[in-house]
Amino acid sequence: MNLLELHLHQFRSYHESVFRFEPGAIHILEGANAQGKTNIIEAIAYISNLRSFRTRNLRDLTEHGQPSFSIDAVCEHGGIREPLRIHHEAGKKKLFRFGNPVASFSRFVGTLNAVLFSPDDMMFFSGAPVLRRRFMDTELVKLSQSYTSALRTTQKLLKNRNALLKKKQPEPFLLETVTEQLVDTQGTVIRQRQGFVNRLNERLREFYPVFSGGTEHLKIQYRTFVDTERNLETQMKDLYRKTRERDLRFSVTGDGIHKDDLVFLLNGYPMSAVGSQGQKRSALLALKLSLCSIIQEKTGQYPVFLLDDVFSELDPVRRQKLIDLIPQNMQVFITAAEPVQADFGNRMVCVHHIKKEINGKDKQNESQ
d(CA 94, CA 201): 37
Q: Which residue's CB is nearer to Mg ion, number 38 or number 253? A: 38
Q: Which does 33 bind (CB under 5 to 8 A by kind): ligand ATP, Mg ion, none?
A: ligand ATP
What DSSP assignment string belongs to 180-233? HHHHHHHHHHHHHHHHHHHHHHHHHHHHHHHHHTTS--EEEEEE-SS-TTS-HH
The candidate with the shortest Cα–Cα distance to 44, out of 99, 1, 15, is 1
Q: Interacting stretch for Mg ion, rule CB under 5 A, among 30-38, 143-151, 167-175, 352-360?
A: 30-38
Residue 104 CB, nearest distance to ligand ATP (Å)?
27
Instruction: Determine contact, residues 305/326, Cβ cutoff 8 Å.
Output: yes
Closest to ligand ATP by CB, 82 vs 89, is 89
Q: Applying CB under 6 A, does 118 fall inside the site for ligand ATP?
A: no
Cβ distance to Mg ion smaller for residue 13 or 38:
38
Beta bridge partners of 94: 87
Least distance in angstroms from the C-beta of 341 to ligand ATP? 17
Of 33, 57, 277, 359, the residue at the interface with ligand ATP (CB under 6 A) is 33
Judged by CB, which is closer to ligand ATP: 159, or 361? 361
Judged by beta carbon distances under 5 to 8 A according to partner kind, the member of ligand ATP, Mg ion, none in contact with residue 303 is none
31 binds ligand ATP (CB under 6 A): yes
**Residue 38 is labelled as binding a ligand:** yes
Nearest to 259 by CA among 122, 65, 64, 129: 129
Q: Annotated binding residue at 31?
A: yes
Cα separations in angstroms, 130 against 75, 154, 187: 31, 16, 19
Alpha helices, H only, 252-276: 271-274
- 141 vs 332, beta carbon nearer ligand ATP: 332
Contacted entry of Mg ion, ligand ATP, none for residue 48, CB cut-off 5 to 8 Å set by kind: none
Half-sphere exposure in the Cβ direction for 96 (13 Å, CA): 14
Per CB under 6 A, which of residues 326..365 are in contact with ligand ATP?
335, 337
Contacts (Cβ under 8 Å, ≥6 apart) of 250: 165
Kindly state the smallest distance separating residue 357's Cβ from Mg ion, in Å: 18
**φ, ψ for residue 264, nearest 5 deg:** -100, 120
Determine if residue 37 is labeled as part of a ligand binding site. Answer: yes
Residue 60 as a binder of ligand ATP (CB under 6 A): the answer is: yes
Q: How far is the CB of 116 from Mg ion (least distance, A)?
A: 12
Helices (H), 300-344: 316-325
Cα(185)–Cα(151) distance, integer angstroms: 7
Q: Is 35 in the site for Mg ion (CB under 5 A)?
A: no
- 30-to-176, 348, 352 alpha-carbon distances in Å: 58, 16, 6
Pairing of strands 2-11, 68-77: antiparallel
Q: Name the minimum Å distance from CB 10 to ligand ATP.
A: 8
Residue 275 lies near ligand ATP (rule: CB under 6 A):
no
Taking CB within 5 to 8 Å according to partner kind, which of ligand ATP, Mg ion, none is near residue 12? ligand ATP
Does 39 interact with ligand ATP (rule: CB under 6 A)?
A: yes
Q: Which does 63 bind (CB under 5 to 8 A by kind): Mg ion, ligand ATP, none?
A: ligand ATP
First to last CA, the chain: 21
Which residues contact Mg ion (rule: CB under 5 A)?
38
Which residues contact ligand ATP (rule: CB under 6 A)?
12-13, 31, 33-39, 60, 62-64, 309, 335, 337
| Binding site per annotation, positions for ATP | 31-38
